[in-house]
């Protein structure tokens, strides 16, 4: 027993997450003394690459940060550029952007829910092992991902690193006939999402709730994709341009990704009391809690049937929220497909000017903020990219600490498993958080560039 | 006639080796060969070979062998060697696709993998010289294999022995 109360849980390289990271939890005398969500890949310095490039290149360059959520990068980039240049994209072009984002949510969430996260709950080491017993569920996830990919392929020009998004709109917009081809697959996706939500709702969930400040976009009258003010469960209500005044980033030794934190005002509410660090949470739980009333009736009903109230504070149940968001995304996509009338032109003209612009959109993993300062000729003087996984790193570490401490007597492998699962609750995109390159891990645990 | 799947991504150095080799096979055998390109994520691969009975996949490898080494592996019977699993730049890659396919009963009856050992997978890098040479060798081996009776008989030359 004493051994268990002084030990180190170490996962050198996390499986089933995007990118390269590990974790370490040190325990001494029955207390957790250190928690480190280790990110050990060097930065790819995309902000540096962007300097001096033309503002129109930002969506294509930043989409290369991630193969899982390139649309999020393109959308935050174009909104920031349009804000800087004083342009506004409305009507069918705005709807097409929401449709494109729907596709990314569907495919990204389906991959995570079914192939990466579900095995944790059902006791399998991987989706491959799970598929032998839960083949129908895995096929369902694959089918959803395929439909999400089809949306991205049609609107983005290709599935991976799409090329059809531009500042002001698109290079080419689909015909009504092309878009109507998505109707039947999306209707099928809606049915699959309902089945998926019912399936994940039956998983066993640890009794674990956390008080944390939720931060997400909250646009008027719709569930957030591309637009909206940044809101929080503690009453924050700011424009994307005010992000730096309320949030910060800092470097810590064990992570090459910056750690996001909330600059907390003196008037912070009860959730902040006793917190040594100003932690906040972005992602599905935050989005859902701040926008439950913006979900469709069917999505709200499905959430309730799955056992969720309007706020979910159990990070393990984020898998249910993702399933609900898949359902909502299929409904939103169908609404747009059914009402589509092609725009007069594929993009509005955007003239550069010397200005600063910020854009915030909701990547599948949470709030993604871009900020740019442009010269008068449209060249990028400065770039800031704040991805969701950077913002969530402190929250991940706090979850690990809170989850492990009352369970120190658990079996070593079971506790290690749960720690990994705790990280996977966030669907962390480690490549995004540091804009990483791939590393090789040597047997002694050290990391070096391959 | 088997379906040829080229796996990889442009702009990531030798990660494009599989794509380039598959394109070369298509050029050599056009219009008699079917070829698709795939970035390498497992769901897309499973979809690419859905309902196919014979498939040849060509992809870059990172196993520690000399750059440019070409390996041929029959993947229809047994799991891939471990080096294929961590070689992928993708969350669930080729090795996972094959094992998922095996679990789900969605594996082609015949599945052959050609792996081209890469040297650099750095973003923005070009193909390295040994890989440029090796992908041509791989394309010729695949072409020979396809021509050998439409089939999947092993080629006359042993690719395991090839070096750039």
3-state secondary structure (DSSP) of residue B58: strand
Asked if the C-beta of A398 comes within 8 angstroms of chain B's C-beta atoms, the answer is no
Nearest CA to A231 out of A72, A425, A367 is that of: A367
Determine contact, residues A43/A385, Cβ cutoff 8 Å: no
Q: Is A145 on the interface with B (CB under 8 A)?
A: yes
E strand segments, A108-183: 165-166, 169-170
Closest by CA to A80, choosing from A388, A368, A375, is A368
Asked if the Cβ–Cβ distance from B104 to A145 is below 8 Å, we say no
Asked whether the beta carbons of residue B103 and residue A128 sit closer than 8 angstroms, the reply is yes
Give yes or no for A44 touching B (CB within 8 A): yes
**C-alpha separations of B117 from B26, B39, B69 in Å:** 21, 17, 5
Task: Give the closest-approach CA distance of B32 to chain A in angstroms.
Answer: 25
User: Which residues in chain B touch residue A68, judged by CB atoms under 8 angstroms apart?
Assistant: 91
Are the beta carbons of B12 and A436 closer than 8 angstroms? no
Q: Do A277 and A261 form a contact (C-beta atoms < 8 A)?
A: yes
Q: Which residue in chain B has the smallest CA separation from A160?
A: B39
A64·B11 Cβ contact <8 A: yes
Q: How many Cβ atoms are within 10 Å of A399's Cβ, its own excluded?
A: 25
Question: Helix (H, G, I), strand (E, B), or coil: what is residue A173?
Answer: coil
Q: Could you tell me the two tokens for A222?
A: 């719709």
Residue-by-residue DSSP string for A388-409: HHHHHHHHHHHHHHHHHGGGTT
β-pair type (A255-262, A247-252): antiparallel
**B104:A131 CB<8 A:** yes
Which residue(s) pair with B5 in the sheet? B36, B57
How many Å apart are CA B136 and CA B134, to the nearest integer? 5
Instruction: Spell out the per-residue pLDDT of chain A, length 450, in tens.
Output: 445 567 777 777 666 666 667 788 888 887 888 888 877 655 667 888 899 999 999 999 999 887 788 999 999 999 999 999 999 999 999 999 999 999 999 999 999 999 989 999 999 988 999 999 999 999 999 999 999 999 999 999 987 789 999 999 999 999 999 999 999 999 999 999 999 999 999 999 999 999 999 999 999 999 999 989 999 999 999 999 999 999 988 888 777 778 888 987 656 555 555 444 589 999 999 999 999 999 999 999 999 999 999 999 999 999 999 999 999 999 999 999 999 999 999 999 999 999 999 999 999 999 999 999 999 999 999 999 999 988 998 999 899 889 888 888 888 888 888 888 888 898 887 655 553 222 233 333 333 322
Count Cβ atoms within 10 A of the Cβ of residue A313 and give its class: 0-12 exposed, 13-18 middle, 19 or more buried. Answer: middle
A128 touches chain B (CB under 8 A): yes
Count of other CB atoms within 10 angstroms of residue A47: 18
Question: Which residues of chain B have a CB within 8 Å of the CB of A436?
Answer: none
The verdict on A160 touching B (C-beta cutoff 8 Å) is yes
Contact B24, B144 (CB under 8 A): no
How far apart, in whole angstroms, are the C-alpha atoms of residue A122 and residue A397?
Answer: 24
Instruction: Say whether A37 sits in a helix, a strand or coil.
Output: strand
The candidate with the shortest Cα–Cα distance to A431, out of A158, A181, A107, A70, is A70
| pTM listed for this prediction | 0.87
Closest CA to A429 of A66, A1, A18, A6: A18
B95 contacts on A by Cβ (under 8 Å):
none
């Amino acid at each position: 027993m004493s051994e268990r109360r002084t030990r180190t849980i170490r996962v050198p390289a996390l499986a089933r997450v995007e990118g390269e990271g590990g974790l370490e939890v040190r325990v001494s005398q029955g207390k957790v003394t250190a928690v480190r969500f280790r990110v050990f890949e060097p930065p790819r310095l995309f902000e540096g690459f962007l300097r001096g490039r033309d503002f129109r290149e930002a969506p294509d360059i930043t989409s290369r940060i991630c193969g899982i959520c390139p649309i999020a990068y393109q959308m935050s980039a174009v909104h920031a550029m349009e804000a800087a240049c004083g342009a506004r994209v409305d009507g069918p072009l705005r709807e097409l952007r929401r449709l494109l984002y729907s596709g990314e949510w569907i495919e990204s969430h389906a991959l995570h829910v079914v192939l990466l996260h579900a095995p944790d709950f059902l006791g399998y080491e991987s989706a491959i092992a799970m598929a032998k017993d839960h083949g129908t569920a895995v096929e369902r996830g694959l089918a959803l991902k395929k439909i999400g990919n089809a949306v991205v392929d049609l609107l983005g020009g290709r599935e991976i690193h799409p090329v059809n998004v531009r500042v002001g709109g698109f290079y080419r917009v689909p015909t009504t006939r092309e878009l109507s081809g998505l109707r039947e697959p999306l209707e099928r996706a809606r049915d699959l999402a309902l089945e998926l939500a019912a399936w994940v709702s039956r998983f066993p969930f640890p009794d674990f709730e956390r008080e944390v400040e939720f931060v997400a976009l909250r646009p008027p009258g719709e569930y957030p994709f591309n637009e909206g003010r940044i809101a929080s469960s503690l009453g924050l209500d700011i424009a994307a341009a005010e992000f730096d005044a309320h949030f910060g980033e800092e470097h810590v030794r064990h992570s090459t990704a910056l750690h996001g934190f909330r600059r907390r005002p003196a008037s912070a509410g009860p959730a902040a009391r006793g917190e040594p660090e100003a932690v906040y949470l972005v992602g599905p739980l935050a989005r859902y809690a701040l926008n439950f009333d913006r979900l469709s009736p069917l999505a709200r009903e499905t959430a309730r049937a799955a056992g969720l109230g309007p706020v979910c504070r159990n990070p393990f149940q984020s898998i249910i929220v993702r399933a609900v968001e898949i359902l909502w995304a299929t409904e939103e996509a169908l609404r747009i497909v059914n009402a589509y009338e092609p725009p007069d032109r594929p993009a509005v003209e955007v003239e550069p000017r010397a200005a600063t612009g910020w854009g915030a959109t909701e990547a599948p993993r949470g709030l993604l903020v871009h900020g740019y300062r442009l010269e008068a000729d449209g060249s990028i003087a400065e770039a800031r990219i704040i991805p969701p996984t950077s913002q969530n790193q402190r929250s991940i570490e706090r979850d690990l600490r809170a989850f492990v401490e009352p369970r120190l007597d658990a079996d070593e492998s079971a506790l290690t498993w749960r720690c990994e699962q705790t990280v996977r609750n966030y669907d962390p995109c480690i490549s995004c958080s540091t804009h990483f390159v791939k590393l090789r891990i040597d047997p002694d645990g050290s990391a070096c560039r391959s | 006639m088997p379906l040829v799947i080229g796996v990889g991504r442009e702009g990531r150095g030798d990660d494009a080796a599989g794509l380039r080799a598959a394109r070369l096979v298509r050029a050599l055998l056009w219009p008699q060969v079917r070829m698709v390109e795939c970035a390498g994520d497992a769901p897309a691969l499973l979809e690419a070979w859905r309902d196919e009975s014979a498939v040849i996949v060509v992809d870059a490898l990172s196993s520690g062998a000399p750059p440019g080494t070409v390996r041929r592996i029959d993947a229809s019977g047994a799991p891939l060697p471990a080096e294929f699993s961590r070689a992928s730049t993708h969350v669930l890659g080729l090795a996972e696709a094959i094992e998922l396919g095996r679990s789900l009963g969605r594996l082609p009856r015949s599945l052959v993998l050609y792996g081209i050992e890469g040297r650099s997978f750095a973003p923005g890098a070009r193909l390295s010289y040994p890989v440029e040479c090796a992908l041509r060798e791989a394309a010729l081996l695949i072409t020979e294999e396809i021509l050998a009776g439409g089939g999947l008989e092993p080629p006359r030359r042993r690719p395991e022995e090839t070096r750039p």
